[in-house]
Amino acid sequence: MEKQNIIMNIRIGTMILSFILLSSTALAQESGKIYQLSYSPAEPVVFDVTTISIGIENTGSKIQNYLMYLQMIKDGKIVHEQEFTFTLEKTKGIFFTPQYTPQDIGGHEVIVRLYDKFKLDLFDTQIIKFNVISHLGPFDISINPLTTRIRPGILLPATLLLENKGAKGIDVEVRVSVNCPDKELTQTLTVFVPANNQTERLVSMQICEQEGLFDILASIIIFNKTWVSSSSQFFVNVSYIQLQFDAPEKITLKPGESYSFPIEVTNLGNQKISDLQFIIQRIPLEWQKTSPSSIIEVEPHEKVVFIVNITVPPDAETKSYEVRMTAVAEEVLQRKISTLEIASLAALPVVPSAGIPIVTYILISISSVISLAIGGGILRKYLKRLQRVPIQKKRLEILNKIKEKIKRS
């Protein structure tokens, strides 16, 4: 009996040992590893190609079919993924160089997993990180309201100044916002900022209905990220101060022409206003020049004069602009609408050009009528004289004939 138990234990032990040896052999036969994972260039740049280098080795004892799974992660989200299937002889290796073009700046993770061909057994996992940079910028931005006091319901004009200190020009998204107690008012615009240059824009922003002190914020957004911001303050006040001025209803110019005109602005209020400016919006800033740029103080009921010059470049497109002309001080703002029409060079103007005032045209027309009337009268007298000359000659001939007859008789 004991002998049978001994034989049985020997058989069981042999079976267990065989199972262990076979399992170890199987595991040794089906294996692999990732022996290299790197990237280039050393500083990946947004929108430029980044190369991922992956080395795989068959560490098993027989030929093996593999599946490699590559993932690119940005802020926890998968932004790129690929699968590669391949076969390797034992102890052999293979090298992959997949490429990826980052669409955003900041940290990225590369995850590489090595499986059997059925994606059942995971042989190895490797992870590397890299930071994507940008050669754009640096940038700067500032926003300055043209008035620090404004009544509710009026659009607030402000000057945006953007600066690109980098070596590459780019279209940037500019976000302007005012945070009111009940809501946030925002607007966005796209502005091209040349390399190593500044760009200025005029914007009109909705404001809060409530009285008080508020911030207006401007930010440059690139790749859905805020790169730089700037803010200024203004005060919403219901007090009434009024400015008065007359603006031309329509200005017609041809490409290459210039036109200067005066704007008289009167302070109708009973208090002094400061930093009065006259602003023209909705035409390019390069086309316009206003002198003086600002008037420090204007007393109650005082009238001041700005000289506005508009110069249309020779290559300007034939079109009409709805122009906003605005007189603005720290305490008050007044706006009027005008039209600037760029006429075709080949077309004759149907209406008087803005280079000559309408009053001048009227005076010229009246002078022409008077000149025609006077000239017509002179012409009629001259014609009558011409008609009289033959008659007088005939009379003289008749008289001479009569005299000769009398002498003969």
DSSP letter for 216, please. E
Write down the pLDDT at residue 358.
Answer: 46
Write down the pLDDT at residue 354.
Answer: 42
Q: What is the pLDDT along the chain (409 residues), one digit of tens a residue?
A: 566 666 666 666 666 665 555 444 444 467 999 999 999 999 998 888 999 999 999 999 899 999 999 999 998 999 999 999 999 999 999 999 999 999 888 899 999 999 999 999 999 999 999 999 888 888 999 999 988 878 888 888 899 999 998 888 889 999 999 999 989 999 999 999 998 899 998 899 999 989 889 999 999 998 888 889 999 998 887 765 778 899 898 999 999 999 999 999 999 877 888 899 999 988 998 999 999 999 999 998 899 999 999 999 999 999 999 998 999 988 788 888 899 898 877 654 444 444 444 444 444 455 554 555 555 555 565 455 545 545 455 555 655 665 565 555 5
- Give the other-Cβ count within 10 Å of 237's Cβ: 17
Could you tell me the two tokens for 84? 């590669």
Nearest residue to 290 via CA among 326, 256, 331, 343: 326
Write down the pLDDT at residue 6.
Answer: 65
Write down the pLDDT at residue 350.
Answer: 43
Write down the pLDDT at residue 233.
Answer: 92
pTM above 0.85? no
DSSP for 57-124?
Answer: E--SSS-EEEEEEEEEEETTEEEEEEEEEEEE-TT-EEEE--EE--SS-EEEEEEEEEEETTS-SEEE
